[in-house]
């Protein structure tokens, strides 16, 4: 802050206001001794400014509490003496020269735009020595493209009482452009005469880098979501699933635009999820949330044009994880001010994709398998049964019961080598027949086989390899006997 000889505050930046819990506008024009329990007189301030020592003060906070502070002082001589006061919490600057420790640059310009006061930080950051700084104007520190903006901000400061803040680059002697946030306020003498303006500048390079990183992260996320064949979402855990966010994929999936779903014009629970599946979807999601597990389910939806489609959804609960929220402790939700507890469910997030084609294929394969089994079960003249890739019997028709003598219950789940003679088993004939069927699609074999009662019969067998379901090969084997 800046204090004149009469003890009136003529400038205060945001950091000073935050220290005392006040805004700069409230502080301007106030007597400085009303802000501290005890304020040093002008002679003591002058001595402190000369020797660079620190003063211990006690600040009066807006809520009536007191805070121990340390300050250093610089004197500004521009017709009348004013004091620039740098404040920090006590002990944070012990053993340091405050002008070297303050991270912000400080500057004071007269009405002609000449720099007549600054801290060492300005020289350290820009690379200019004191003689060079004394000859510079405000516009010498910013890029040409920003000079009109800065000049207009200075005019506003000189014309009014408000503090003006602008972002630009601070141009160093070596030509480096450092992102900075500048502020300025009118500087008056004890009689209220305008003598110039003072301000501070803060390096915001890290803040700007963080903003860029966030924007890039959001861009990458948006690109990823837009390329996914489906719809990403965030919604509340309520039966109608009100959506806070849905991706552009919603239109292709449902026929509805994102804004229709996000606004509630179209309800995901009432308008999109098939009426016969709503109860099951709710119950399965709640069961998963009760265990704090992710959920995965398949259900039907009704699109904008009335078509029924099958979708697959995978999602999870999002829980309150604020660092200042201990488990079971109330915290304020920044979004709406409502009270929340750590680990409370905030929302659901997930992804939904169209699996109609896959579902229809599975249903067609299931029907095909059922029809096949129905067909072969009625055949009595031939033994027809199905093996899995390892040779385990999976199905058994009436003809197989008559030819081989085994009931369905006693043979399903057994290895088909049961039907072979001991000599053939020892020679690896069953495994070879199975391998030939897989490799060549089918194989024909003649030989002696064993019934359940131990008797032998001669048979001709045709083994056919097929895939009733993708990735799951089956061997269909048919026997005809020759007694």
Please report the beta strands in 284-377, taking only residues with DSSP state E, as ranges in sequence order: 295-302, 308-319, 330-332, 339-341, 345-354
Q: What is the pLDDT of residue 323?
A: 41
Distance CA 477, CA 309 (A): 38
Distance CA 193, CA 208 (A): 38
Q: What is the pLDDT of residue 412?
A: 92
Task: Please count the other Cβ atoms lying within 10 Å of the Cβ belonging to residue 281.
Answer: 20
Q: What is the pLDDT of residue 427?
A: 92
Distance CA 407, CA 453 (A): 12
Q: What is the pLDDT of residue 144?
A: 96
Q: What is the pLDDT of residue 480?
A: 55
Quickly state the pLDDT bin for 351 (edges 50, 70, 90). Answer: very high
Q: Mean pLDDT, to the nearest integer, of 436-459?
A: 83
pLDDT digits (tens, 9 = 90+) for 18-67: 888 888 778 888 888 888 888 888 888 888 877 767 788 888 888 888 88
3-state secondary structure of 156: helix
Q: Mean pLDDT, to the nearest integer, of 183-205?
A: 86
Identify the residue with better confidence: 20 or 473: 20
Q: What is the pLDDT of residue 398?
A: 79
pLDDT digits (tens, 9 = 90+) for 122-148: 999 999 998 899 889 999 999 999 999
Q: Could you please report the per-residue DSSP string of 442-457?
A: EEEEEEEEE-TTS-EE
Contact of 400 with 384, CB cutoff 8 Å: yes
Mean pLDDT of the chain: 82
pLDDT digits (tens, 9 = 90+) for 5-31: 888 888 887 777 788 888 877 888 888
Contact of 4 with 82, CB cutoff 8 Å: yes
Whether 441 has a pLDDT exceeding 90, the answer reads no
Residues 6+ apart with CB under 8 A from 191: none
Q: Mean pLDDT, to the nearest integer, of 158-166?
A: 79
Q: What is the pLDDT of residue 414?
A: 93
3-state secondary structure of 2: strand
Mean pLDDT is highest, among 17-26, 317-326, 362-371, 375-384, for 17-26
Identify the residue with better confidence: 30 or 366: 30
Quickly state the pLDDT bin for 102 (edges 50, 70, 90). Answer: low
Return the bridge partners of 84, or none.
2, 74
Identify the residue with better confidence: 269 or 481: 269
In order of their start, the domains of the chain are 2-208 (3.30.450.20), 234-354 (3.30.450.20), 376-482 (3.30.450.20)
Q: Mean pLDDT, to the nearest integer, of 108-117?
A: 88
Q: Mean pLDDT, to the nearest integer, of 204-212?
A: 87
Contact of 2 with 187, CB cutoff 8 Å: yes
Q: Mean pLDDT, to the nearest integer, of 222-234?
A: 78
Identify the residue with better confidence: 431 or 438: 431
Q: What is the pLDDT of residue 161?
A: 62
Q: What is the pLDDT of residue 99?
A: 46
Q: Mean pLDDT, to the nearest integer, of 225-239?
A: 86
Rg of the chain (C-alpha set)? 42
Mean pLDDT is highest, among 3-7, 78-82, 273-277, 414-418, for 273-277
Q: What is the pLDDT of residue 286?
A: 96
Q: What is the pLDDT of residue 264?
A: 94
Residues 6+ apart with CB under 8 A from 144: none
Closest CA to 166 of 174, 175, 156: 156
């Amino acid at each position: 802050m800046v204090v004149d000889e009469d003890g009136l505050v003529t400038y205060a930046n945001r950091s000073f206001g935050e220290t005392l819990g006040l805004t700069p506008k409230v502080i301007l024009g106030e007597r400085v001794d009303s802000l501290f329990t005890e304020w040093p007189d002008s002679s003591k301030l002058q001595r402190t400014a000369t020797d660079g020592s620190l003063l211990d003060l006690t600040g009066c906070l807006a809520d009536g509490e007191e805070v121990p502070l340390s300050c250093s002082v610089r004197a500004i001589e521009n017709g009348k003496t004013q004091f620039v006061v740098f404040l920090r919490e006590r002990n944070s600057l012990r053993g340091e020269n405050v002008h070297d420790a303050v991270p912000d640059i400080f500057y004071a310009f007269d009405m002609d735009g000449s720099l007549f006061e600054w801290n060492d930080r300005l020289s350290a950051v820009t690379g200019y020595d004191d003689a060079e700084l004394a000859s510079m104007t405000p516009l010498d520190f910013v890029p040409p493209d920003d000079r009109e903006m800065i000049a207009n901000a200075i005019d506003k400061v000189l014309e009014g009482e408000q503090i003006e803040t602008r972002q630009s680059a601070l141009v160093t002697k070596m030509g480096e452009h450092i992102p900075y946030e500048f502020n300025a306020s009118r500087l008056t003498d004890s009689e209220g005469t305008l003598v110039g303006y003072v301000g501070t500048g803060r390096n915001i390079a890290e803040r700007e880098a963080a903003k860029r990183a966030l924007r890039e992260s959001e861009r990458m996320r948006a690109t990823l979501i837009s390329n996914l064949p489906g719809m990403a979402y965030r919604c509340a855990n309520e039966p109608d699933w009100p959506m806070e966010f849905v991706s552009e994929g919603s239109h292709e999936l449902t026929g509805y635009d994102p804004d229709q779903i996000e606004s509630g014009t179209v309800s995901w629970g009432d308008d999109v999820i098939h009426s016969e599946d709503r109860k099951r979807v709710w119950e399965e999601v709640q069961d998963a949330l009760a265990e704090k597990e992710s959920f995965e389910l398949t259900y039907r939806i009704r699109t904008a044009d009335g078509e029924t489609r099958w979708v697959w959804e995978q999602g999870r609960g999002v829980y309150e994880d604020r660092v200042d929220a201990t488990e079971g402790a109330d915290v304020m939700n920044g979004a709406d001010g409502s009270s929340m507890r750590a680990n409370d469910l905030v929302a659901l997030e997930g992804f939904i994709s169209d699996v109609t084609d896959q579902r229809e294929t599975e249903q067609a394969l299931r029907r095909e398998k059922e029809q096949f089994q129905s067909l072969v079960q009625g055949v009595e003249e031939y033994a027809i049964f199905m093996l899995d890739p390892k040779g385990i019997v999976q199905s058994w028709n009436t003809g197989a019961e008559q030819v081989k003598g085994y009931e369905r219950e006693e043979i399903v789940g057994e290895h088909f080598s049961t039907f072979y003679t001991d000599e053939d088993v020892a020679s690896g004939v069953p495994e070879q027949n199975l391998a030939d069927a897989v490799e060549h699609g089918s194989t024909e074999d003649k030989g002696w086989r064993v019934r359940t009662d131990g008797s032998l019969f001669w048979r001709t067998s045709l083994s056919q390899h097929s895939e009733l379901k993708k990735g799951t090969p089956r061997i269909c084997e048919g026997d005809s006997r020759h007694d």
